[in-house]
Amino acid sequence: MPNYKQIHNAEDLRRAAARYLPKPVFDFIDGGAEDEVALRNNRAVFERVRFRPRTMADVSSRSLATTLLGQPSAAPIAIAPMGGLSNFAPDAELAMARACAAAGIPYCLSTAAGISIEDLRAAVPDARLWYQLYVFKDDRVNEGIVRRAQEAGYEALMVTTDTHVGPKRERDRRNGFTLTLERTPRNIARVLARPRWVWDVLIRAGLPSMPNLAPYAPEVVDSLSATKYFIENRRYAFDYDHLRATRKLWKGKLLVKGVLRPDEAVQIMECGGDGVVLSNHGGRNLESSAAPLEMLPEVVDAVGRKMHVLIDSGFRRGTDVVKALALGAEGVLMGRPAAFAAAAGGQAGVAHLIGLMKDEIDRTLGFLGCTAIDQIERDHVLIDHAFPGRNAPGL
C-alpha cells in the first residue's frame, strides 16, 4: 500500500503504480500512439489556458455539487471506461466503481472489462453506472449487450467511435506486448521484478477474460481468447445510420465518445444523441490528433446547451477540470490516473485520487471567486492566441 501522506497528486499515483506494475504493463497504460505527440499535447494545452480570478468575493462556503447527464453528481468528474484493467490490478473495475459510488460520482464500465455488466451492478447496487460500447460485426452481440445494460439499470450508453483502426503504440511493440505479453527472457525478468503484482494478478486473481462477450462467443474463455475475439470480431465502423438504430434500442442517455469536431457533434444531436465525450482516447490512437480541450470551445459554440458535452484526455489536476468547465464542458472523465490509482492502492487508491481531485477543484473554485460549479464561466480564463476557437463567438 502506498504511503498516502506522500501521495499529493495524480503524478505521485502514477509513480506508485510504476513501482507495482511490470514495465510492459505500466507502458501499456501510460503510452500513446507513435511519437506520442498527441499524448504530450493533451497535457501541454492546459498551459495555454490560464485563469482570470475574481478576488472580491465571499468564498467561505463552497460546493462541488453539479449535474452530469441531468442527474446529481457530487463533483464534475467521473471515471472513463478502460478495458483490460483487471490485468493490471485485481478487481480494478470493482475498486473504481466502489470508490466512485462512495464519492457520489459516476463510473463507466468498458465493453472490454474483466467483470460483467450484471456482476458489477450487483456489487454496487446504488452506484451511477454508465456503459461504454464497442460495436461488433454481429448485431446480436450489440443488441444483447445494450439490452443487458438497460436491464441492469445503467443510465448512459457511450459508443466509442475513435478506434475504428488498430492503433500503432510503439512502446507495446518494443515490449512485445500485443495480444499477450511475449515470454522473452527480458519480459520474464521484468515480471519477476514485481513479485507483489505476480502474486495479486497472476497467482491469486488470474488474468481476466471479457465476461460481457462470453454469452455470444463460447470461444471466449480466457484473457488471450477474449483479446483475439475482440480484435477479430469488432465492427470497425459506426456511422449515423448505426447511431439512429442504437437510439431506437437504448432508452437512457446516448453519448458518442471520441468526437472532436463541431459538425459531427451537431449531426450526432440530429440523430438523437444526447451528448458527446470529446476525446482523443488519451492520445492512444490517432497520432497528432488535436487535444479535446482545444476543440471544446468550437463544439460548445456549435451545440450550445442542447447537448451534454463531456471531455477527457490529459486531465490530471483540479485546475485542468475547472479550465474545461470554464470553456463549456459539463464534466470531465479521468482515464489513466484512475488506472494507476487502482494499481497503486485498489479502491483506497482510487478514493484517494478522487479526494485529491475534489480538493483541487474546490481550491480553484475559491481562488476564482466562485462558490458553486455553475458560477464558472469563460470569463474566468484567458487563452493563448494559438488556441483554436479563440475567436469563436462568446470568447
- Choosing from 8, 242, 281, 385, the catalytic residue is 281
Of positions 91, 200, 294, 312, contacts ligand FNR by CB under 6 A? 312
Question: What own/partner pairs with CB < 8 Å and gap ≥ 24 does 65-68 have?
Answer: 65/372, 65/373, 66/330, 66/331, 66/373, 66/374, 67/330, 68/105, 68/106, 68/308, 68/310, 68/330, 68/331
80 touches ligand FNR (CB under 6 A):
yes
Residue 109 β-bridge partners: 131
Q: How far apart are CA 354 and CA 372, in angstroms?
A: 18
323 touches ligand FNR (CB under 6 A):
no
User: 133, exposed or middle or buried, with CB in 10 Å at 0-12, 13-18, 19+?
Assistant: buried
Tell me how far, at minimum, the Cβ of 58 lies from ligand FNR, in Å.
34
Tell me how far, at minimum, the Cβ of 313 lies from ligand FNR, in Å.
4
114 touches ligand FNR (CB under 6 A):
no
Q: How far apart are CA 275 and CA 273, in angstroms?
A: 6
Q: Which of 86/370 has CB closer to ligand FNR? A: 86
Segment contacting ligand FNR by CB under 6 A, of 114-122, 182-190, 245-253, 311-319: 311-319
Of positions 10, 29, 269, 353, contacts ligand FNR by CB under 6 A? 29
Counting residues that bind ligand FNR (by CB under 6 A) gives 22
281 touches ligand FNR (CB under 6 A):
yes
Dihedral sign (CA 352, 356, 358, 359): positive
- Does the annotation count 164 as an active-site position? no
292 touches ligand FNR (CB under 6 A):
no
167 phi and psi angles, rounded to 5 deg: -75, 155
Q: Which of residues 156-175 bind ligand FNR (CB under 6 A)?
A: 160
Contact indicator for 209, 111 with CB cutoff of 8 Å: no
Of positions 197, 230, 315, 387, contacts ligand FNR by CB under 6 A? 315
22 touches ligand FNR (CB under 6 A):
no
Dihedral sign (CA 167, 173, 174, 180): positive
Tell me how far, at minimum, the Cβ of 391 lies from ligand FNR, in Å.
27
66 touches ligand FNR (CB under 6 A):
no
Which positions ≥6 away from 289 have C-beta within 8 Å?
Answer: 38, 260, 280, 283
Dihedral sign (CA 4, 42, 25, 128): positive
Task: Cite the active site residues.
Answer: 281
Binding site for ligand FNR (CB under 6 A): 29, 42, 80-83, 110, 112, 132, 160, 257, 279, 281-282, 312-315, 334-336, 339
